[in-house]
Amino acid sequence: MGGTCVLRGCVPKKLMVYASEYASALVDAVGFGWEIGEHSIDWRRLIEAKDRELKRLNQIYLRMLETSGVRLIRGRGELVGPHEVRVGDDCYTAQNILISTGGRPSVPQFRGNELAMTSDDILSHEILPQRLVVIGGGYIGVEFACIFGRVGVRVTQLVRGDGILRGFDADVRSHLEQEMRAAGIEVRTGVQIAELARADQGFRVTLGTGEVLETDLVLAATGRVPNTTGLGLDAAGVERGPRGEVVVDSQSRTCVPSIFAVGDVTDRVNLTPVAIADGRGLAESLFGDREFEVDHQGIPTAVFSQPEVGTIGLTEAEARAQFSEVQVFEAKFRPMRHTMSGRESRVMMKLLVDKGSDRVLGCHMVGDGAAEIIQAVAIAMKCGATKAQFDATMALHPSAAEELVTMREPRR
Protein backbone atom coordinates (compact mmCIF):
# COMPACT_ATOMS: atom_id res chain seq x y z
CA MET A 1 0.00 0.00 0.00
CA GLY A 2 1.30 3.41 -0.95
CA GLY A 3 2.17 2.83 -4.58
CA THR A 4 5.09 4.31 -6.50
CA CYS A 5 5.64 7.35 -4.28
CA VAL A 6 5.71 5.64 -0.89
CA LEU A 7 7.35 2.36 -1.87
CA ARG A 8 9.42 2.91 -5.04
CA GLY A 9 9.73 6.64 -5.56
CA CYS A 10 9.59 9.93 -3.69
CA VAL A 11 9.78 8.68 -0.11
CA PRO A 12 12.63 6.10 -0.22
CA LYS A 13 14.55 8.25 -2.69
CA LYS A 14 14.28 11.34 -0.47
CA LEU A 15 15.50 9.31 2.53
CA MET A 16 18.53 8.29 0.47
CA VAL A 17 19.07 11.93 -0.55
CA TYR A 18 19.14 12.89 3.13
CA ALA A 19 21.69 10.14 3.81
CA SER A 20 23.96 11.26 0.98
CA GLU A 21 23.84 14.92 2.04
CA TYR A 22 25.66 14.11 5.28
CA ALA A 23 28.82 13.36 3.29
CA SER A 24 29.01 16.99 2.11
CA ALA A 25 27.98 18.31 5.52
CA LEU A 26 30.86 16.49 7.21
CA VAL A 27 33.35 17.95 4.73
CA ASP A 28 31.87 21.44 4.99
CA ALA A 29 31.91 21.32 8.79
CA VAL A 30 35.72 21.54 8.83
CA GLY A 31 35.52 25.12 7.55
CA PHE A 32 33.40 26.00 10.58
CA GLY A 33 35.86 24.67 13.12
CA TRP A 34 34.69 21.08 13.54
CA GLU A 35 37.23 18.28 13.81
CA ILE A 36 35.95 15.43 11.68
CA GLY A 37 37.63 12.04 11.96
CA GLU A 38 37.39 8.99 9.74
CA HIS A 39 33.87 8.35 8.52
CA SER A 40 32.07 6.08 6.07
CA ILE A 41 28.53 5.01 5.24
CA ASP A 42 27.15 1.58 6.10
CA TRP A 43 24.96 1.20 3.02
CA ARG A 44 23.28 -2.01 4.16
CA ARG A 45 22.25 -0.34 7.42
CA LEU A 46 20.78 2.58 5.47
CA ILE A 47 18.71 0.22 3.30
CA GLU A 48 17.47 -1.64 6.37
CA ALA A 49 16.45 1.63 8.07
CA LYS A 50 14.71 2.79 4.89
CA ASP A 51 12.80 -0.50 4.64
CA ARG A 52 11.64 -0.20 8.26
CA GLU A 53 10.24 3.26 7.52
CA LEU A 54 8.43 2.03 4.40
CA LYS A 55 6.92 -0.84 6.41
CA ARG A 56 5.71 1.68 9.01
CA LEU A 57 4.10 3.83 6.30
CA ASN A 58 2.51 0.76 4.73
CA GLN A 59 0.86 -0.10 8.04
CA ILE A 60 -0.45 3.46 8.36
CA TYR A 61 -2.12 3.22 4.94
CA LEU A 62 -3.68 -0.11 5.84
CA ARG A 63 -5.07 1.37 9.07
CA MET A 64 -6.44 4.39 7.16
CA LEU A 65 -8.32 2.08 4.82
CA GLU A 66 -9.64 0.01 7.71
CA THR A 67 -10.84 3.00 9.74
CA SER A 68 -12.48 4.45 6.62
CA GLY A 69 -14.53 1.28 6.18
CA VAL A 70 -12.82 0.22 2.95
CA ARG A 71 -12.95 -3.44 2.00
CA LEU A 72 -9.55 -4.61 0.79
CA ILE A 73 -9.44 -7.49 -1.70
CA ARG A 74 -5.97 -8.90 -2.28
CA GLY A 75 -5.30 -10.18 -5.79
CA ARG A 76 -4.87 -9.14 -9.40
CA GLY A 77 -7.88 -7.33 -10.78
CA GLU A 78 -8.98 -7.48 -14.41
CA LEU A 79 -11.90 -5.63 -16.01
CA VAL A 80 -14.43 -7.89 -17.69
CA GLY A 81 -17.02 -5.23 -18.43
CA PRO A 82 -18.06 -1.64 -17.66
CA HIS A 83 -19.23 -2.59 -14.15
CA GLU A 84 -17.32 -5.79 -13.38
CA VAL A 85 -13.86 -6.78 -12.14
CA ARG A 86 -12.54 -10.33 -11.86
CA VAL A 87 -10.03 -11.25 -9.14
CA GLY A 88 -9.01 -14.89 -9.41
CA ASP A 89 -12.19 -16.96 -9.55
CA ASP A 90 -14.37 -14.21 -8.06
CA CYS A 91 -16.16 -11.33 -9.79
CA TYR A 92 -17.18 -8.04 -8.22
CA THR A 93 -19.62 -5.47 -9.58
CA ALA A 94 -19.83 -1.75 -8.92
CA GLN A 95 -21.65 1.30 -10.17
CA ASN A 96 -18.29 3.03 -10.76
CA ILE A 97 -14.77 1.68 -11.25
CA LEU A 98 -11.59 3.71 -10.69
CA ILE A 99 -8.27 2.71 -12.28
CA SER A 100 -5.25 3.96 -10.34
CA THR A 101 -2.47 1.46 -11.05
CA GLY A 102 0.34 3.97 -11.47
CA GLY A 103 3.41 3.33 -13.59
CA ARG A 104 6.41 1.05 -13.91
CA PRO A 105 10.04 1.61 -14.99
CA SER A 106 10.76 1.72 -18.72
CA VAL A 107 14.04 0.23 -19.95
CA PRO A 108 15.35 1.28 -23.40
CA GLN A 109 15.96 -1.32 -26.09
CA PHE A 110 19.55 -2.49 -26.53
CA ARG A 111 21.33 -5.84 -26.39
CA GLY A 112 21.55 -7.08 -22.81
CA ASN A 113 19.12 -4.50 -21.41
CA GLU A 114 17.72 -7.14 -19.04
CA LEU A 115 20.99 -6.88 -17.06
CA ALA A 116 20.34 -3.25 -16.12
CA MET A 117 18.78 -2.37 -12.79
CA THR A 118 15.72 -0.14 -12.66
CA SER A 119 14.98 2.53 -10.05
CA ASP A 120 12.75 -0.05 -8.30
CA ASP A 121 15.70 -2.46 -8.01
CA ILE A 122 18.41 -0.04 -6.91
CA LEU A 123 16.34 1.28 -4.00
CA SER A 124 16.80 -2.09 -2.32
CA HIS A 125 20.33 -2.95 -3.48
CA GLU A 126 22.28 -3.61 -0.29
CA ILE A 127 25.83 -3.44 -1.65
CA LEU A 128 27.30 -0.03 -2.43
CA PRO A 129 29.14 -0.22 -5.79
CA GLN A 130 32.44 1.49 -6.45
CA ARG A 131 31.40 2.35 -10.01
CA LEU A 132 27.94 3.10 -11.38
CA VAL A 133 26.71 3.88 -14.89
CA VAL A 134 23.38 5.71 -14.99
CA ILE A 135 21.51 5.61 -18.30
CA GLY A 136 19.12 8.54 -18.65
CA GLY A 137 19.12 12.26 -17.97
CA GLY A 138 15.65 12.75 -16.52
CA TYR A 139 14.95 13.63 -12.91
CA ILE A 140 15.17 9.99 -11.74
CA GLY A 141 18.58 9.49 -13.32
CA VAL A 142 19.84 12.86 -12.05
CA GLU A 143 18.70 12.21 -8.50
CA PHE A 144 20.31 8.76 -8.30
CA ALA A 145 23.52 10.02 -9.93
CA CYS A 146 23.75 12.68 -7.19
CA ILE A 147 22.88 10.25 -4.37
CA PHE A 148 25.58 7.76 -5.31
CA GLY A 149 28.09 10.40 -6.35
CA ARG A 150 27.85 12.12 -2.95
CA VAL A 151 28.61 8.89 -1.05
CA GLY A 152 31.78 8.31 -3.02
CA VAL A 153 30.69 6.13 -5.94
CA ARG A 154 32.34 6.91 -9.28
CA VAL A 155 29.30 7.81 -11.37
CA THR A 156 29.07 8.09 -15.14
CA GLN A 157 25.75 9.40 -16.46
CA LEU A 158 24.94 8.66 -20.09
CA VAL A 159 22.40 10.97 -21.72
CA ARG A 160 21.03 10.40 -25.23
CA GLY A 161 20.07 14.06 -25.74
CA ASP A 162 22.01 17.31 -25.52
CA GLY A 163 21.80 17.60 -21.73
CA ILE A 164 20.06 16.55 -18.54
CA LEU A 165 16.47 17.38 -17.54
CA ARG A 166 14.93 17.79 -20.97
CA GLY A 167 11.86 20.02 -20.72
CA PHE A 168 13.21 22.13 -17.85
CA ASP A 169 14.41 25.71 -18.27
CA ALA A 170 17.66 25.84 -20.27
CA ASP A 171 19.54 27.80 -17.58
CA VAL A 172 18.44 25.33 -14.91
CA ARG A 173 19.70 22.43 -17.03
CA SER A 174 23.10 23.95 -17.77
CA HIS A 175 23.67 25.23 -14.22
CA LEU A 176 22.86 21.90 -12.57
CA GLU A 177 24.96 20.00 -15.09
CA GLN A 178 27.94 22.22 -14.24
CA GLU A 179 27.38 21.66 -10.52
CA MET A 180 27.17 17.88 -10.98
CA ARG A 181 30.38 17.82 -13.01
CA ALA A 182 32.11 19.95 -10.38
CA ALA A 183 31.04 17.37 -7.77
CA GLY A 184 32.82 14.62 -9.73
CA ILE A 185 29.92 13.12 -11.70
CA GLU A 186 30.86 12.43 -15.32
CA VAL A 187 27.92 13.56 -17.45
CA ARG A 188 28.19 12.44 -21.08
CA THR A 189 25.65 13.70 -23.60
CA GLY A 190 24.69 12.57 -27.10
CA VAL A 191 25.39 8.95 -26.15
CA GLN A 192 23.77 5.80 -27.57
CA ILE A 193 23.99 2.39 -25.84
CA ALA A 194 24.82 -0.54 -28.12
CA GLU A 195 25.19 -3.40 -25.64
CA LEU A 196 25.35 -4.33 -21.97
CA ALA A 197 27.17 -7.52 -21.05
CA ARG A 198 28.60 -9.20 -17.98
CA ALA A 199 32.32 -8.80 -17.35
CA ASP A 200 34.75 -10.62 -15.05
CA GLN A 201 34.04 -7.98 -12.44
CA GLY A 202 30.72 -6.24 -12.95
CA PHE A 203 29.48 -5.19 -16.38
CA ARG A 204 30.71 -3.90 -19.71
CA VAL A 205 28.76 -1.10 -21.44
CA THR A 206 29.44 -0.71 -25.16
CA LEU A 207 28.51 2.67 -26.61
CA GLY A 208 27.36 3.36 -30.16
CA THR A 209 30.85 4.67 -30.97
CA GLY A 210 32.39 1.35 -29.94
CA GLU A 211 33.83 2.73 -26.70
CA VAL A 212 33.57 0.32 -23.76
CA LEU A 213 32.94 1.33 -20.14
CA GLU A 214 33.61 -1.03 -17.22
CA THR A 215 31.31 -0.68 -14.20
CA ASP A 216 29.97 -2.54 -11.17
CA LEU A 217 26.30 -1.67 -11.72
CA VAL A 218 24.15 -0.19 -14.48
CA LEU A 219 20.99 1.75 -13.66
CA ALA A 220 18.50 2.30 -16.45
CA ALA A 221 16.66 5.44 -15.33
CA THR A 222 14.85 6.34 -18.53
CA GLY A 223 11.43 7.14 -17.18
CA ARG A 224 8.26 5.25 -16.35
CA VAL A 225 5.29 4.12 -18.42
CA PRO A 226 1.63 3.69 -17.41
CA ASN A 227 0.91 0.36 -15.75
CA THR A 228 -1.95 -0.85 -17.96
CA THR A 229 -0.87 -4.28 -19.20
CA GLY A 230 -3.25 -7.10 -18.35
CA LEU A 231 -5.99 -4.94 -16.81
CA GLY A 232 -8.65 -5.96 -19.33
CA LEU A 233 -8.97 -2.42 -20.66
CA ASP A 234 -9.57 -3.51 -24.24
CA ALA A 235 -12.28 -5.98 -23.21
CA ALA A 236 -14.02 -3.21 -21.27
CA GLY A 237 -13.74 -0.78 -24.17
CA VAL A 238 -11.40 1.67 -22.40
CA GLU A 239 -9.30 3.77 -24.79
CA ARG A 240 -5.54 3.89 -24.37
CA GLY A 241 -3.04 6.38 -25.74
CA PRO A 242 0.28 5.84 -27.55
CA ARG A 243 2.22 5.11 -24.34
CA GLY A 244 -0.48 2.78 -23.06
CA GLU A 245 -2.00 5.48 -20.84
CA VAL A 246 -5.71 5.48 -19.99
CA VAL A 247 -7.25 8.36 -21.93
CA VAL A 248 -9.43 10.59 -19.72
CA ASP A 249 -11.12 13.99 -19.90
CA SER A 250 -10.62 16.92 -17.52
CA GLN A 251 -12.80 15.17 -14.92
CA SER A 252 -10.91 11.86 -15.09
CA ARG A 253 -13.63 10.10 -17.10
CA THR A 254 -12.68 7.45 -19.64
CA CYS A 255 -14.72 6.79 -22.79
CA VAL A 256 -16.71 4.25 -20.74
CA PRO A 257 -19.15 6.26 -18.56
CA SER A 258 -18.75 4.05 -15.48
CA ILE A 259 -14.92 3.80 -15.56
CA PHE A 260 -12.54 6.53 -14.36
CA ALA A 261 -8.76 6.84 -13.94
CA VAL A 262 -6.40 9.07 -11.95
CA GLY A 263 -2.69 9.29 -11.30
CA ASP A 264 0.31 8.18 -13.35
CA VAL A 265 -1.77 5.60 -15.25
CA THR A 266 -3.28 8.57 -17.15
CA ASP A 267 0.18 10.02 -17.98
CA ARG A 268 -1.00 13.60 -17.45
CA VAL A 269 1.12 15.23 -14.72
CA ASN A 270 2.91 12.37 -13.01
CA LEU A 271 3.26 13.79 -9.51
CA THR A 272 1.83 12.44 -6.25
CA PRO A 273 -0.05 15.62 -5.19
CA VAL A 274 -1.67 15.75 -8.64
CA ALA A 275 -2.92 12.18 -8.29
CA ILE A 276 -4.31 12.98 -4.84
CA ALA A 277 -6.02 16.12 -6.15
CA ASP A 278 -7.49 14.24 -9.11
CA GLY A 279 -8.82 11.56 -6.75
CA ARG A 280 -10.37 14.18 -4.48
CA GLY A 281 -11.87 15.98 -7.45
CA LEU A 282 -13.38 12.76 -8.75
CA ALA A 283 -14.89 11.97 -5.33
CA GLU A 284 -16.42 15.46 -5.21
CA SER A 285 -17.88 15.05 -8.69
CA LEU A 286 -19.30 11.56 -8.13
CA PHE A 287 -20.52 11.78 -4.54
CA GLY A 288 -20.47 15.48 -3.61
CA ASP A 289 -22.82 18.19 -4.70
CA ARG A 290 -20.65 19.83 -7.37
CA GLU A 291 -18.67 19.18 -10.53
CA PHE A 292 -14.97 19.55 -9.75
CA GLU A 293 -12.04 20.00 -12.13
CA VAL A 294 -8.42 20.06 -10.99
CA ASP A 295 -6.28 22.89 -12.38
CA HIS A 296 -3.17 21.27 -13.87
CA GLN A 297 -1.53 24.62 -14.66
CA GLY A 298 1.15 26.23 -12.50
CA ILE A 299 2.22 23.10 -10.63
CA PRO A 300 5.46 23.46 -8.63
CA THR A 301 8.07 20.81 -9.34
CA ALA A 302 11.28 19.80 -7.62
CA VAL A 303 14.23 17.64 -8.58
CA PHE A 304 15.98 16.37 -5.46
CA SER A 305 19.39 16.57 -7.04
CA GLN A 306 22.36 18.01 -5.17
CA PRO A 307 22.02 20.95 -5.42
CA GLU A 308 18.22 20.90 -5.54
CA VAL A 309 16.06 22.22 -8.38
CA GLY A 310 12.74 23.98 -7.77
CA THR A 311 10.57 25.35 -10.57
CA ILE A 312 7.11 26.83 -11.07
CA GLY A 313 5.47 28.23 -14.19
CA LEU A 314 6.87 28.68 -17.69
CA THR A 315 10.41 28.07 -18.90
CA GLU A 316 12.06 30.95 -20.76
CA ALA A 317 11.45 29.23 -24.11
CA GLU A 318 7.77 28.69 -23.28
CA ALA A 319 7.36 32.28 -22.06
CA ARG A 320 8.91 33.74 -25.23
CA ALA A 321 6.66 31.53 -27.37
CA GLN A 322 3.52 32.79 -25.60
CA PHE A 323 4.29 36.45 -24.80
CA SER A 324 5.62 39.22 -27.04
CA GLU A 325 8.06 40.75 -24.56
CA VAL A 326 9.58 38.77 -21.68
CA GLN A 327 11.96 40.16 -19.09
CA VAL A 328 14.48 37.79 -17.52
CA PHE A 329 15.76 38.54 -14.01
CA GLU A 330 18.59 36.29 -12.89
CA ALA A 331 20.99 35.98 -9.97
CA LYS A 332 23.95 33.67 -9.47
CA PHE A 333 25.84 33.83 -6.22
CA ARG A 334 27.89 31.87 -3.73
CA PRO A 335 25.69 31.29 -0.66
CA MET A 336 26.93 32.48 2.72
CA ARG A 337 27.44 28.93 3.97
CA HIS A 338 30.10 28.25 1.36
CA THR A 339 32.11 31.40 2.04
CA MET A 340 33.44 29.43 5.03
CA SER A 341 32.96 25.83 3.91
CA GLY A 342 35.23 26.50 0.94
CA ARG A 343 32.84 24.89 -1.53
CA GLU A 344 32.56 26.68 -4.88
CA SER A 345 28.90 25.72 -5.46
CA ARG A 346 26.68 28.60 -6.58
CA VAL A 347 22.94 29.24 -6.38
CA MET A 348 21.01 30.20 -9.51
CA MET A 349 17.64 32.01 -9.38
CA LYS A 350 15.57 33.20 -12.30
CA LEU A 351 12.30 35.11 -12.69
CA LEU A 352 10.44 35.44 -15.99
CA VAL A 353 8.11 38.43 -16.29
CA ASP A 354 5.60 39.49 -18.92
CA LYS A 355 6.58 43.12 -19.52
CA GLY A 356 3.08 44.11 -20.63
CA SER A 357 1.23 42.97 -17.47
CA ASP A 358 4.24 42.77 -15.08
CA ARG A 359 2.97 39.30 -14.07
CA VAL A 360 5.57 36.73 -13.01
CA LEU A 361 5.37 33.87 -15.51
CA GLY A 362 8.01 31.54 -14.10
CA CYS A 363 10.41 31.09 -11.21
CA HIS A 364 13.35 28.70 -11.31
CA MET A 365 16.02 27.92 -8.75
CA VAL A 366 19.03 25.63 -8.40
CA GLY A 367 20.41 25.54 -4.88
CA ASP A 368 19.95 24.16 -1.38
CA GLY A 369 16.36 24.45 -0.19
CA ALA A 370 15.00 25.14 -3.68
CA ALA A 371 11.95 22.91 -3.19
CA GLU A 372 10.95 24.61 0.07
CA ILE A 373 11.36 28.08 -1.44
CA ILE A 374 9.49 27.32 -4.67
CA GLN A 375 6.52 25.91 -2.76
CA ALA A 376 5.99 29.34 -1.16
CA VAL A 377 6.57 31.17 -4.44
CA ALA A 378 3.93 28.93 -6.06
CA ILE A 379 1.27 30.42 -3.76
CA ALA A 380 2.14 33.95 -4.89
CA MET A 381 2.13 32.96 -8.54
CA LYS A 382 -1.21 31.17 -8.14
CA CYS A 383 -2.55 34.52 -6.95
CA GLY A 384 -1.18 36.23 -10.09
CA ALA A 385 1.69 38.08 -8.39
CA THR A 386 3.48 40.80 -10.33
CA LYS A 387 7.15 41.72 -10.33
CA ALA A 388 6.23 44.97 -8.56
CA GLN A 389 4.71 42.95 -5.73
CA PHE A 390 7.85 40.82 -5.49
CA ASP A 391 9.89 44.06 -5.34
CA ALA A 392 7.62 45.54 -2.66
CA THR A 393 8.11 42.49 -0.44
CA MET A 394 10.66 43.05 2.33
CA ALA A 395 13.73 40.85 2.09
CA LEU A 396 14.47 38.32 4.82
CA HIS A 397 18.17 38.75 5.52
CA PRO A 398 20.43 36.85 5.49
CA SER A 399 18.86 34.17 3.31
CA ALA A 400 19.23 32.88 -0.21
CA ALA A 401 15.52 33.42 -0.84
CA GLU A 402 15.87 37.19 -0.41
CA GLU A 403 17.35 37.34 -3.91
CA LEU A 404 13.86 36.72 -5.28
CA VAL A 405 12.72 40.13 -4.02
CA THR A 406 15.92 42.10 -4.65
CA MET A 407 16.51 41.46 -8.37
CA ARG A 408 15.87 44.91 -9.87
CA GLU A 409 17.33 45.00 -13.39
CA PRO A 410 16.50 42.42 -16.06
CA ARG A 411 19.49 40.59 -17.54
CA ARG A 412 17.79 40.42 -20.93
Q: Where in the chain is the domain with CATH 3.50.50.60?
A: 77-104+223-299, 113-222
Q: What are phi and psi of 243, to 5 degrees?
A: -100, 10
* All CATH 3.30.390.30 domain ranges in the chain, comma separated: 307-405
Select which of 125, 175, 364, 397 is catalytic: 397
In whole angstroms, give the CA distance from residue 144 to residue 94.
41
For 269, residues 6+ apart whose C-beta sits below 8 A from its C-beta are 296, 299
Given 1.20.1300, 1.10.287, 1.10.1070, 1.10.10, which CATH number is that of 1-72? 1.10.287
Classify domain 307-405 at the CATH superfamily level: FAD/NAD-linked reductase, C-terminal dimerisation domain (3.30.390.30)
Q: Which CATH number fits domain 113-222: 3.40.605.10, 3.30.1300.10, 3.30.420.40, 3.50.50.60?
A: 3.50.50.60
CATH, range 77-104+223-299: 3.50.50.60
- Interval 56-90: pLDDT, tens: 999 999 999 999 999 999 999 999 999 999 999 99
Active site residue 397: yes
One digit per residue, pLDDT tens: the chain, 412 residues? Answer: 888 999 999 999 999 999 999 999 999 999 999 999 999 999 999 999 999 999 999 999 999 999 999 999 999 999 999 999 999 999 999 999 999 999 999 999 999 999 999 999 999 999 999 999 999 999 999 999 999 999 999 999 999 999 999 999 999 999 999 999 999 999 999 999 999 999 999 999 999 999 999 999 999 999 999 999 999 999 999 999 999 999 999 999 999 999 999 999 999 999 999 999 999 999 999 999 888 889 999 999 999 999 999 999 999 999 999 999 999 999 999 999 999 999 999 999 999 999 999 999 999 999 999 999 999 999 999 999 999 999 999 999 999 999 999 999 999 9
Alpha carbons 156 and 182: distance in angstroms, whole number: 13
Pinpoint the residues of the chain covered by CATH 1.10.287: 1-72
pTM reported for the whole predicted model: 0.95
Closest CA to 274 of 254, 301, 248: 301
Cβ within 8 Å of residue 283, ≥6 positions away: none
What are the DSSP calls for 7-49, one per residue?
Answer: IISHHHHHHHHHHHHHHHHHHHHGGGT---------HHHHHHH
